[in-house]
Structure 1
């Protein structure tokens, strides 16, 4: 079986394959164009960690940094220019995919400054600024699903801006995200926007759930607890898709769809496997179902192409089975509410740390450029 067959099967099963990475090097070398051509990649997601890693290498950005330094650009303006240039160029690379899929795919995501995750008004302002700065219809602005992020999601969509909702861990929060999405579309319609032009995905983080729950199960230490290792993340995703199907079967959604609205697809994020005990494709081949996106690190994509077992829909109709897993986790002493709160807080903190690293890297590059 060729490397493209398994990825082609995944795409054929209704899963959009997006790359969870972006850098100037990928763009300049033709690597990203090759993934589009050869590996069914139809979108890209970025986050502060991805940009921090890309700019830490530095060389590919040196010329632009020198130009910005010569113009007297400050640190924040330089970071904005470097990151949005990559996103704009990637969006242009995906324009054919965007056109061929009527705007469903061919998407490139950029995240608001993670330091704004707890500030609704500033998040909305940043989302609007990113949308105007990148100035591409196939952009998705990433907004974290914090409590403060929920009204920001609604207000951003109401302005006709397409949104990737990120850092979703619990099904309860995911349902609130869908409600925020519905409200945003309703307001967008009232504001005179064409709903056909607004798209959204909801990024449900997967592997981090297993990492946190497994750690707690090990601490409990009983055989009953240890037997549940590696089950939480998949079960959580199955419950999320069950919630997606139910929410998008309501009269509220039917009315929006009649006005041309596009469904907010679930996106499986954090799909790189963190434990060597597990198959390196488990968060891909165990989450195959139509109307979803799987955004993968290239390492996971290569593993999927090489040896994933794509057997069709592995998700639909498994909500009750997944709920039993969570009942068992509760029975052995796992406080699942605390798990999700911990993961959300850690997610915001990690992205804030990455943003600080990014600022430090660019500061060094600017200082060097200024002599």
Structure 2
């Protein structure tokens, strides 16, 4: 009997887990998700690492070693996170080999405090890539205006990139342009384009959270009827952009040199409104050549009861545009919505990173005191 996750994979959707921890690596649970639930990649972010490292005792031994070596907090966090990502890359290496590097990817994000600093982001991306030292790592770079050049330069150095925190269609087009520029630079620099991979992480549920809040403030029946639909509409129109951009003559010339399309990745696919179906952002975004990165709760719901009916994106563009037009007619400013979401997303990641630094600093001090250092 075909499981829903197998049906999703058969429909052309790569399932990645939006979570990573040392316990997942050591207790075999991540390996089980690969074998049983069609998981073929992993994404991480500062919030995920903060939760992983500050829960339980899986990192105590390495933290004690770092304290004994006199590591400062920045170095300690760098060592802790890259160790997990390198081990996860090794676990997914067979998947990467079987798919030509398309899947089997593990993402690690640059320090989110650097999101507005192009040069520092480039330097951090190269440092992370060198430290992890695995071909199937993705370096995550936020799609801020300052991040666009960093994306291009990182790709130009032959490093695979996961572009994160994309909310707007306009910014997504700029991300695709940054990717193509990066490939052009990589080609000029003598890199094998077939070895460079990228995904563009388009966030979904947070769009509904923000727009539904504004619809509730309007308070009319007309506004209520539009709730819970903008996230899908926005993502579906992103797929239309993907189809347009990667059927262009510009990309064809790069493809002839071995380049691959930058795949759309649906992120933030856990449903935040309990009134919505818990697999909405999975079954509503089925299309060939995409990635859906799911928190474990969404993955389990998908495996248990998702109804996968084939492509639910292609051919929906007129309806999606009509929905965004209806929102605009009610006075909801799309550009303001996506600007707020980008700002809030970065603020959340920076806050998580700062909390992680504080907790690790305390952990280092505690370990040093225990050893009498």
Q: TM-score range by the shorter chain?
A: over 0.9
| Superposed CA offset, 1:232-279 (max 9, x none) | 000001100000000011100000000000110000000000001100
CA distance, structure 1, for counterparts of residue 267 and residue 123 of structure 2: 25
**Aligned with residue 77 of structure 1, among 75, 78, 84:** 75
Corresponding position of 1:325: 323
Cα shift readout 1:40-94 (whole Å, capped 9, x = no counterpart): 0000000000000001114000000011111111111100000000000000000
Tell me, in whole angstroms, the C-alpha distance in 2 between the residues paired with 1:223 and 1:321.
Answer: 20
Among 12, 16, 19, the residue aligned to 2:17: 19
TM-score by length of structure 2 reads 0.98
TM-superposed CA distance for 1:195, in Å, is: 0.2
Q: Secondary structure at the match of 1:59?
A: coil
Which of 57, 60, 63 aligns to 2:61? It is: 63
Secondary structure in 1 aligned to 2:54? helix
SS in 2 for 1:259: coil
Question: Which TM-score applies when normalising by structure 1?
Answer: 0.99
Moved more, 109-118 or 222-231: 222-231
Query: In angstroms, what is the RMSD of aligned CA positions?
Result: 0.7
Cα separation, 1, equivalents of 2:302 and 2:26: 25
Query: Who is 1:304 aligned against?
Result: 302
How many Å separate the matches in 2 of 1:319 and 1:160? Answer: 34
CA–CA separation in structure 2 for the residues paired with 1:360 and 1:50:
16
1:144 aligns with 2:142: yes
1:89 pairs with 2:87: yes
Q: 3-state SS of the aligned residue for 2:364?
A: helix
CA distance in 2, matches of 1:288, 1:199: 21
Q: 1:153 maps to what in 2? A: 151
Q: 1:234 aligns with which of 232, 235, 247?
A: 232
Cα distance in 1 between the residues matched to 2:193 and 2:104: 18
**Mean Cα displacement is larger for which, 221-230 or 123-132?**
221-230
Give the alignment partner of residue 127 of structure 2, picking from 110, 126, 129. 129
167, 170, 177: which is aligned to 1:169? 167
**SS of residue matched to 2:292:** strand
Contact 1:58 1:365 (C-alpha < 8 Å) held by counterparts:
no
Contact 1:169 1:205 in 2 (8 A): yes
Per-residue CA shift, 1:175-212, capped at 9, x if unaligned? 10000000000000000101011000000000000000
Return structure 1 stretches of 4+ with deviation > 3 angstroms.
Answer: none
Alpha-carbon deviations, 1:273-307, whole Å to 9, x = none? 00011000000001001100000001000000111
How far has the Cα of 1:319 moved from its partner?
Answer: 1.2
SS in 2 for 1:104: coil
Deviations, residues 127-163 of structure 1 (Å, cap 9, x unaligned)? 0000000000000000000000001100000000000
Extract unaligned runs of 5+ from structure 2: none
1:307-364 CA-partner distances (Å, limit 9, x unpaired): 1110000001211111000000000110110000000000000000000111111112
1:220 to 215, 218, 221: 218
Among 231, 242, 245, the residue aligned to 2:243: 245
Residue 107, structure 1, aligned to residue 144, structure 2: no
1:205 maps to 203
| SS in structure 1 at match of 2:145 | coil
Give the aligned length. 369
Rounded Cα–Cα distance in structure 2 between residues aligned with 1:212 and 1:337: 12
Partner Cα separation in structure 1 for residue 87 and residue 160 of structure 2: 18
Q: Which runs of 5+ in 1 are unaligned?
A: none
Q: Among residues 268, 271, 274, which one is paired with 1:273 in the alignment?
A: 271
Check the 8 A contact 1:242/1:317 in 2, yes or no.
no
